[in-house]
A and B are shown apart, each in its own frame.
Chain A
Amino acid sequence: MTDLFSEQSHWAILSGLEGNLTAYNAVLDDIRKQAIPVDAIYILGDVVGLHPQCSQLLEQLRSPQAGEPSPQICTGWWEEQCFNLHGVGPDPQAFALKERYGDEGVEALWNAVPREQVEWLRSLDFGFMELDALLIHGSTVGYDDELTPDTPASVLLDRLIRADANQLFCGRSGLAFEYCLKSGQIASRLTTLDGSQAPISQILKPRKVVGVGSVGRIPNQASYCLYCPTTNKVEFRQIS
């Protein structure tokens, strides 16, 4: 019998470029070297940041050269800060940015991302739903929803069930991890004014949350992941 799922392909999933063009190009080089072809590149937000190459990186992403892949990009925490600075985000006073990076951070981000680039960033998606996977910066709760290897299983389940996804790929924490919710059960009994219902047992089907690492956050250490949707396997890549 022919194996319907024998065809192998990979998605490269990245996040946290933070304006680091050199790191992004190093990742592209690594993607090109893969024996199994990468047929889609997803960037899960934080394309911009305080890095001096920010504007050049945006130009490259907006206008890929011939032979260069066109990634699918969604917005992240840094993009939201840009929207805030330009009065089109939910926090026009940019409190979150000031709290973490001070007034210098506000000024640096303002200078790093020109207005027309902000308009382009606003056209990007909030996240992607591909097959049974949600690819997003934080989670459906928000850009700053930071999922980590230490996040309680119940919280991760909430994020997965909210999105009706079996896999969730996220970038907010910058960490590379694979968190498998392998099995589970919960029994539930409901009583209303009209009486008690029979207990219900709910079984948890296997689900997974993957932190895809960060391309540009740590100097000279880019990380991303390759995902094979047919086998559901995740491979983490680290580039110095």
Chain B
Amino acid sequence: MKLAVLSCIHGNLEALETVLHDVETQGCDRIICLGDLVGYGPYPNEVVDRIRSLEIPTVQGCWDEDIVEGLNACECSYPSLLAEKRGLRAHEWTNQVVRDDVREYLAQLPVSLRDGNLCFVHGSPNSQHEYLMPELDGFIALERVLSTEADVLFCGHTHIPYVRSLDDTKISISVKQIHPDGPQSAPVEQSLSTPIKRLVNAGSVGEPRHGRPNATYVIYDTESEAVGLRELPYDYEKTCAAIVEQGLPKIFAWRLSQGLEFAERADDPQHLCQR
């Protein structure tokens, strides 16, 4: 079975339609969405309507959560103060235009989905707001996959697609426990190893940050376990024009056209969510 995994559409209907067409062309049997249907982009209601009409299983993204809960998110929500300032403006705009039924739909989305040995989340198993960057420490990356008890963890949120294979893991430990009413036990020695685990980031359909303006998503073949990273050009200028027309910050149109966030580089992109 060919599984298409999309993430971070961000109200970019033009990009979504391009990806959906490609998914069909590639002969995918199923689609799963990793959230962030809204935020930044000009068509939040339309994107949600499209996802709902296709009955695509979807997890809740950080933007989806924030539109439901209000801006209560942890400090990991934005990579910098400047990004936060602009994000607040986008949040206000999105919050004003989303319909009640859209908000209700976003509210009931699960934070994770499971399908056999596959697990799907937006940011990380800990939080929709935690970034699992491609250069994340290997042992931490392994912990995030192990915590789901899956073999493959699909995530988004970073807007940078990647496949990270974690292999040949061995950890040697010794544990000494002191019992209050007994003699001190000798340390117990153990050697642990894990089979290959993978972290697959689906990138972003509607707001890429990998250096080009193209939409990205991934295709996973459940039989061969092969992962294909897909990158698709689309008419991003149409979305850029709509961003400006709707009164969203012009910088969103600029960065969409660049596929980067030069103006809003993270102070600490390795920062791990504390909640």
Contacts and interface: CB of A to CB of B under 8 A. Distances in A.
A11 interface: no
Interface residues of A, number: 41
Interface stretch (A49-57, A63-71, A98-106, A171-179): A171-179
Contacts of B143: 154-155, 157-158
B263 interface: no
Given A180-B174, A193-B161, A193-B216, A162 B272 contact: yes
B175 A180 contact: yes
Interface string B212-229: 000010000000000101
Interface in A161-214: 161-162, 175-193, 200-202, 204, 213
B163 to A, nearest CB: 4
Interface stretch (B3-11, B29-37, B134-142, B233-241): B134-142
Contact of B139 (A158, A183, A200, A223): A158
Interface size class on chain B is 35 or more
A155 B147 contact: yes
Interface string A139-156: 011100000010011110
A201 B167 CA distance: 9
Given A187-B166, A190-B164, A192-B161, A153 B173 contact: yes
Given A186-B168, A187-B167, A191-B229, A154 B142 contact: yes
A117 interface: no
A152 B140 CA distance: 13
B271 to A, nearest CB: 10
Interface of A: 140-142, 149, 152-155, 157-158, 161-162, 175-193, 200-202, 204, 213, 218, 221, 223, 236, 238
Interface of B: 134-135, 137-143, 146-147, 160-178, 180-181, 184, 187, 192, 203, 210, 216, 227, 229, 231, 272, 274-275
Ordered nearest first, which 3 A-B pairs have the shortest CB separation?
Answer: A184-B171, A176-B178, A187-B168
